[in-house]
Amino acid sequence: MNLEDPKSVALKMESPPAPSEPVTAVAALRTIRVARGLSLEDVASRLKFAPRVIDAFESERWDELPRGIGLRTLAKNYAKFLDIDFAALEPTLREHFDASQPKTGLAEHTSTRSLGDAVEKPASTGSTAWVILIVVVVAVVLGIGLVQGIVPQSLVPDWLKGQ
């Protein structure tokens, strides 16, 4: 990341978190962000997540974060933005990725067996009609070619020449 680039200049300066609390892998993201002179708004505008979501992620307030793939996307994009290896961060977050998956859904619903009865089978696509239409169009084009003399006489069958 180039800090001389006017698009990446920090909007606000922020001080690093107080060292009294133990630093986790996610909390280290805040430290790195602040050390690079980036505000929550800078990160939020680049990642397209609200500043409150970025703050909740850095503060590890998991109940305020998106679920499932949204959390994984946030973590992966944040690590990429800060130029950090996501693979090193992923084991720490894996329990939250799994825990954030919804516990109920279509796959675990008890009435999924009845869905097969409710789904209508699509009607025939009418492929026979299309084949007939294509054959008719080809015959008409060849007929016009014969009448207009576009098709060479050597390609015309003998049974058509007799007319």
In this structure, are 13 and 58 located in the same domain?
yes
- Whether this prediction's pTM lies above 0.85 is answered by no
pLDDT at 110 over 60: no
Q: What is the mean pLDDT of residues 130-134?
A: 93
More confident: 155 or 15: 155
Kindly state whether residue 123 falls inside one of the protein's structural domains. Answer: no
**Residue 22 Cα to chain centre, angstroms:** 35
Name all contacts of 139-142 with Cβ < 8 Å and 24+ positions apart.
none
Q: What is the mean pLDDT of residues 120-142?
A: 84
Task: Say if CB 10 and CB 33 are below 8 A apart.
Answer: no
Q: Which H or E run contains 71?
A: helix 69-81
In this structure, are 91 and 144 located in the same domain?
no
Q: What are the Cα distances from residue 137, in Å, to 134, 153, 157?
A: 5, 21, 19
Kindly state whether residue 135 falls inside one of the protein's structural domains. Answer: yes
Q: Which H or E run contains 51?
A: helix 51-58
Between CA 46 and CA 11 the distance in angstroms is 13
At 105, list the tokens: 């859904």
Q: What is the mean pLDDT of residues 33-42?
A: 87
pLDDT-derived band of residue 137, with 50, 70 and 90 as boundaries?
Answer: very high
How many helices (H) and strands (E) in the chain?
Answer: 8, 0
In this structure, are 66 and 133 located in the same domain?
no
In this structure, are 83 and 11 located in the same domain?
yes
At 65, list the tokens: 């974060």
Q: Which residue has the tokens 């058509």?
A: 160
In this structure, are 95 and 146 located in the same domain?
no
Instruction: Indicate the average pLDDT of the chain.
Output: 74
- What 3-state DSSP class applies to 97? helix
Tell me which residue range forms the domain holding 24.
Answer: 7-102
- For residue range 39-79, list pLDDT tens digits in order: 888 888 888 888 898 888 888 888 888 777 888 888 888 88
Mean pLDDT lowest for which of 72-76, 98-102, 137-141, 156-160? 98-102
Q: What is the mean pLDDT of residues 98-108?
A: 51
In this structure, are 93 and 144 located in the same domain?
no
- Number of domains within the chain: 2
Q: In this structure, what CATH number is given to the domain that contains residue 55? A: 1.10.260.40
